[in-house]
A and B are shown apart, each in its own frame.
Chain A
């Protein structure tokens, strides 16, 4: 079956612009996670969705970052007024939350470059 997909695969934007990153989880997965991977910080958690609600958004680095999930499926991560330090690979993962299976499966990521 299809895995987690993310779009775009690469995004170059100018400092100060807003960007939207999209994640399509595996069908039937109710949990969705966003992480960020950068050279200096490794893999960092950003936000977690269970269905359409976000019980844990503690990893969002500032109020410029927001995310939403609609229909219990697709999620969008929005970064407003981008800064150079936002440059990283943004990864999305999804998982089941019942039936004893807790594995998180990752998408290929979106590489964001802020110039």
Chain B
């Protein structure tokens, strides 16, 4: 059973456009929601993360929007660039206060940004 559902599977955006990737979860015990970026042949790199006590977090061109009541969160990439072309994974984890536990990953979104 997939604990974190991610869409779309692939996304094509023009340079300068906004890329939006969505994720949904069921387990209300999740309290940490990171996004990872992965280039071919490399390990996933932590991009940005959010906790459910805030509804939005922005770092540069990357923004996470979080809707706790809907159990959904999304990644927005503003002014998308060809260098952003990669696979993006959302994830969720539970365990506040001490050790953070295992990450449950979405299936990934392959983003292509056309120049």
Contact = CB atoms under 8 A, between A and B. Distances in A.
Contact of A95 (B45, B100, B104, B107): B100
Interface in B95-115: 98-108
Interface residues of A, number: 24
Main secondary structure of the interface of A (DSSP, over half): strand
Contacts, number: 56
B46 interface: yes
Interface in B59-98: 89, 91, 93, 98
Main secondary structure of the interface of B (DSSP, over half): loop
Interface string A21-38: 000000000010101000
B100 A50 contact: no
A56 B42 contact: no
A66 B101 CA distance: 19
A35 B44 CA distance: 11
Interface stretch (A12-20, A41-49, A67-75, A76-84): A41-49
10 nearest A-B residue pairs (beta carbon): A106-B43, A102-B100, A43-B105, A45-B102, A97-B99, A108-B43, A106-B44, A42-B107, A109-B43, A103-B46
Interface of B: 32, 34, 36, 41-46, 49, 89, 91, 93, 98-108
Interface of A: 4, 31, 33, 35, 42-43, 45, 48, 50, 56, 59, 91, 93, 95, 97-98, 102-109
20 contacts: A4-B43, A31-B100, A35-B103, A42-B105, A42-B108, A43-B89, A43-B108, A48-B101, A50-B99, A59-B102, A91-B43, A98-B98, A103-B34, A103-B46, A105-B46, A106-B43, A106-B44, A108-B41, A108-B42, A109-B42
